[in-house]
Amino acid sequence: VEPEDKKNRRRGKGKGKDKDKDKKVVEKTKGKGKSSTKRPRRVYEPFDARFQQDLKAGALLKGRLRVNPRRREEAYVTVEGVEVDVILKGRKNQNRTVDGDEVAIRILPLEDWDSAERLEDAVEDSDESEEEGVQEDDSGLESLTELVEKKLVVGDGGGGDQARAWTLDEINNQIREHKRRPAGKVVGIVNPTDQRKHIVCRIHKAEKLEDLSPATSVTFRPVEDRFPFLRLQVPTDSKKEMKRLKKLELTKARDKFILVMVTKWPLYSEAPFCGVVEVLGEMTSKENQISAVLLQQGIEQTHLGEFSKEVISCLPSTPWEIGDKEISLRRDLRSWRIFSIDPETARDLDDALSIEMVDEKTARVGVHIADVTHFVRPATSLDKEASKRATSVYMVDGVLPMLPRLLCEELCSLNPGTDRLAFSIVWEISLETCDVLSEWIRQTPKPSFP
């Protein structure tokens, strides 16, 4: 007689009956009120458990994924050593990734590569002799160790049983010979993009939104088409989170921008699940539209707010002028006619030009860049803040500066009639042949100024 506890385990009862509960779908049997369970249909393949090791061994390719905003079913990965971008066709080959993820990919068989018409603008004609393309080989597969020793890239058709090996040279030869773009599929995410944490959306479809309960179903549509639709994951066991969502007035947000973040993307879900971070405001507001664009690009997190006291303390005292000692260390170009090409409203003139005739056949051309390094010293609070911001962001009605305005609009702006420090490069060029006859460039910590 079979023991009762063993019988229960075999039948899925007793201990362990709730295992993988989140991976099952509960359905009510019609008319009887009974429930039965079945595994949901898998939409995506799980990531390769060995993809990190295979990457280190050189058996996979790696690059940053870019989604075609006009055709989300297409994505591209730029891979070092491959002459054109690898295409990922279809969401299954993109495998739960979003624009900006750094991914590990496997090359698919040649018959899955993109057509010649799609590649005609991506490949340059070459007159050099090329080796013959890789031929199909039915002799069997080499071991991973042998592939690594030969620095090969493994490609397969999805099941692994039809895998074949490509060298980077063979991939490039196939690109040139057949003018076809290599196709691949994602087998792992190396580094997920930070954009997963801030995707600006609007409500696309909602059921029982006003109730805001576990029965609520909300689908979000990102404002940028390169991101997938997302599904709201309403918490069932967190009163604090439910209270927060109600405080955000999500129930009144049908016509508002909403900031969400990806929380998970199960194998059985076509769309990722997300949580609501913030309700931004009405979509018809210009201010909210600008804020949505900045947030989506990850700019608002780095550029918002005033500069800290630590950053401001790194700035020189005003009024500021160039000292005699500093002038003695530089080449004085203040007698030259130097000009910038900027609109009258421009306030940060960071580069300028000069040109003069040396003789009838020779011109002296100069490019002059504001010497920001004189004020931004390495490893200071100012340097760290500038590194974080990376650039000034120009909008229709304003600018978010990389540096405090004292620098970008005054001391590091090559304003007319003022002495400023600059880094200058000067060429003497033949007007007949356009050859560079001589050049002058000051590659020292103390460059020149106009």
Q: Which residue has the tokens 């039948």?
A: 11
What is the distance between the alpha carbons of residues 401 and 391, in angstroms, rounded to a whole number? 7
Strands (E), 233-384: 256-264, 273-282, 338-339, 351-359, 362-370
Cβ(366)–Cβ(267) under 8 Å? no
Nearest to 99 by CA among 209, 166, 196: 196
Going by C-beta distance under 8 Å and a sequence separation of 6 or more, which residues neighbour residue 121? none
Contact 184, 162 (CB under 8 A): no
Q: Tens-of-pLDDT digits for all 450 residues of the chain?
A: 445 555 455 555 444 444 444 444 334 434 444 445 566 788 999 999 999 988 888 788 999 999 998 899 999 999 999 999 999 999 999 999 999 999 999 999 888 998 755 655 444 433 332 333 223 333 333 333 333 333 344 444 344 434 454 678 888 888 888 888 999 999 999 999 999 998 999 999 988 887 777 778 899 999 999 999 999 977 777 778 788 888 888 888 889 999 999 999 999 999 999 999 989 889 999 888 888 888 888 776 667 668 999 999 999 998 998 888 888 888 888 888 999 988 887 888 889 999 999 999 999 999 999 999 999 999 999 999 999 888 888 887 778 889 999 999 899 998 888 889 999 999 999 999 999 999 887 633 334 444
* Integer CA distances (angstroms), 395 to 282, 289, 294, 349, 399, in order: 20, 12, 10, 17, 6
- A 10 A CB-CB count for 47 gives 17
Cβ–Cβ under 8 Å, residues 156 and 187: no
Q: Are 105 and 185 in contact (CB under 8 A)?
A: yes
Measure the CA–CA gap between 443 and 135, rounded to whole angstroms. 53
Query: Is the four-CA dihedral 99, 100, 103, 107 of positive or negative sign?
Result: positive
What φ, ψ does residue 373 adopt, rounded to 5°?
Answer: -65, -20
CATH entry 2.40.50.690 includes domain 51-124+140-191 = yes
The DSSP secondary-structure symbol of 116 reads S
Domain locations along the chain? 51-124+140-191, 194-303, 315-441
For the chain, the first-to-last Cα distance in angstroms comes to 99
Q: Note the pTM of the prediction, 2 decimals.
A: 0.65
CATH pick for 194-303 out of 2.40.50.700, 3.40.50.920, 3.30.420.40, 3.40.50.300: 2.40.50.700
